[in-house]
Amino acid sequence: METAVHFDFRDSSNPVAQSIEPNEKTSASTLPFLEPALIPPMAEQVVSQGLRHIDLEGVEVVSASDSSGIIHNQNQKDLEEDANFSDRQEAEATQSEDTLPSLDRGESPSTDSLSTLNSDSFDESAFTFQDAEEKENVDFERDSGSDDILRLKPTLRQWKDFPSLLSFARAHNAELDGCFKIVLPDGALEAIPEKPAQLVDANAFTPQLLRPSRIWRVNTKPTTGKFPSSSDIKESTFTGTTTEAAKRLSKIFSKSRNRQIRDVRYRVDVPAWSVEQRLAAGVPGKSPLHPLKGDKLDLTKAIIPGIHTPYVYESGPAFGATFQLHAEDFRLSSLNHLYKGRKIWIIIPSAAVGLAEEQLGRNERCSQFMRHRAEFVFPERLERLGIPYRLIDQRPGETIVILPDAYHEGFSTGYTLAEAKNYAEETWSTETYQPCDATCQLATAIPGDFMRIIEDGEDRLDLCSSYDDDSPEPMKRELEEEDSASEESTEQQEQQEQPEQPEQPEQRPRKRIKWIKGGMSSNVSN
């Protein structure tokens, strides 16, 4: 006997349906991996249990007759050929930004100061879509090499109105992918400066296969790495597909199991908020990602490096520098711009966050439980766990926007130079976020109080000020060594001039503390 599955979308006017209501014959386990607030609009359907799958606007959902329960990587490519689908998408894109529903869980804090950005931002009125037609006519396409995710190609004015681009992307179902791409327009980027060859601090990697999960833990070791000058940078010899790239990385992990991967180096969390820092890191003096219109991070108690301000990431010429699976701190979005090289991303859609955390074993831990574990999960393993994913190919000039709650990981296919920071839209809230606590045993975990909205008249805590802006990162080691040598020479001279003193109790030396994003950013940063 057939059992009908009935969907009643009670608010078809919204670009993202707000509810799903199965009939009395439908088991709650029929679609256990879909969150109601994240299912796209569709007409009322009746699908018999015997069918193999249900198409929800491009997301292939396996029905109860298929025990695998996997949302496959089928996007809207086929459906876009349907005229009715295209007409509906066009209508959705023209809707006012104010009518777009929030996909974030929890309400944003109420404050009268949210409409006013601080002095680090710019005049919003200078960068606003002039009319509905300009907002509607954002050029876009589906990226066939990246599981057909949305790829926006805005004008300079459209790029400067980032909140409207976010709304446009959501109206085109970007939430179902957990991400979308933006090709930065002419005028958004300054020229990339020349950079000499450098021997700088970097991470090396040792993969460890965990049993019985068959998931790889990637242990990082602080070391040094040689990074080429701008003129000596060579394109990666790898030209394969994203799937081929993932398979190659898997072979490298297997070959280097419990051993340090040869030649792979990754330079992470390089400060990039001052002109001096940026030029020393090899990126333009002015960031294309900061400041951005509508960033609610401008109103929080603390200014945290890498979250409120940009970090630069640079991988050496060898294939395989990884950043491990994690979601962004405090349910933020992130922007990741690639200047040089090629990166492969594996992204779990925001719509599947509940399923992903259950399968990965969160078990009431803090929201950054995967960041602490520093694990890399290959696509084949995600498929076995029934976790949907997108395999993304990032090229120079592209910015990947990761939406809140979307877990992501990735790797470089050779030399890469990138910049990243977080972003909080107006609807952002930390209400459902579980910050790290003492059980995380991380002294650098971000306290929840740092991310609250600042009160009127309250001073902000600037954690970026602890960095030495006068000394570009590549020079710091030399300067510190010179200071150390000078101190030793002075101490020896003082010992010769002064009479011998009674032995004093040993005291711990003072250390300059640098803020590390997320507590274990060397393991997960991108």
Instruction: Specify the higher pLDDT residue, 517 or 363.
Output: 363
Task: Say what the pLDDT of residue 7 is.
Answer: 33
Alpha-carbon span 59 to 165, nearest angstrom: 23
Task: Taking residues 85-107, report their average pLDDT.
Answer: 40
Structure tokens at 515: 């803020």
Residue 480 has pLDDT above 50, yes or no: no
Instruction: With cut-offs at 50, 70 and 90, classify the pLDDT of residue 443.
Output: low
- pLDDT by residue (tens digit) across 447-473? 889 999 999 999 999 999 877 554 444
Structure tokens at 20: 């799903």
Instruction: With cut-offs at 50, 70 and 90, classify the pLDDT of residue 374.
Output: confident
Structure tokens at 518: 């997320």
Q: How far is CA 192 from the centre of its chain?
A: 23
Task: Say what the pLDDT of residue 132 is.
Answer: 53
Residue 122 has pLDDT above 50, yes or no: no
Pick the closest to residue 514 from 212, 73, 201 (CA basis).
Answer: 201
Task: Say what the pLDDT of residue 63 is.
Answer: 34
Alpha-carbon span 220 to 207, nearest angstrom: 9
Alpha-carbon span 345 to 314, nearest angstrom: 16
pTM of the model: 0.69
Task: Say what the pLDDT of residue 524 is.
Answer: 59
Instruction: Specify the higher pLDDT residue, 348 or 508.
Output: 348
| Residue with the two structure tokens 């779990």 | 348
- Which domains occur in the chain, in start order? 198-464+516-524 (2.60.120.650)
Weakest-pLDDT range from 99-108, 383-392, 450-459: 99-108
Task: Say what the pLDDT of residue 136 is.
Answer: 65
Instruction: Specify the higher pLDDT residue, 58 or 174.
Output: 174
Mean pLDDT for the chain overall = 73
Helices (H) and strands (E) in the chain, counts: 11, 21
Instruction: With cut-offs at 50, 70 and 90, classify the pLDDT of residue 441.
Output: low
Task: Say what the pLDDT of residue 358 is.
Answer: 86
Instruction: Specify the higher pLDDT residue, 112 or 453.
Output: 453
DSSP letters, 319-366, are S--EEEEE--GGG-EEEEEEEES-EEEEEE-GGGHHHHHHHHT-TT--
- pLDDT by residue (tens digit) across 274-302? 999 999 999 999 999 999 999 999 999 99
Task: Say what the pLDDT of residue 133 is.
Answer: 55
Task: Say what the pLDDT of residue 485 is.
Answer: 46
Q: Which residues pair with 305 in a beta bridge?
A: 309
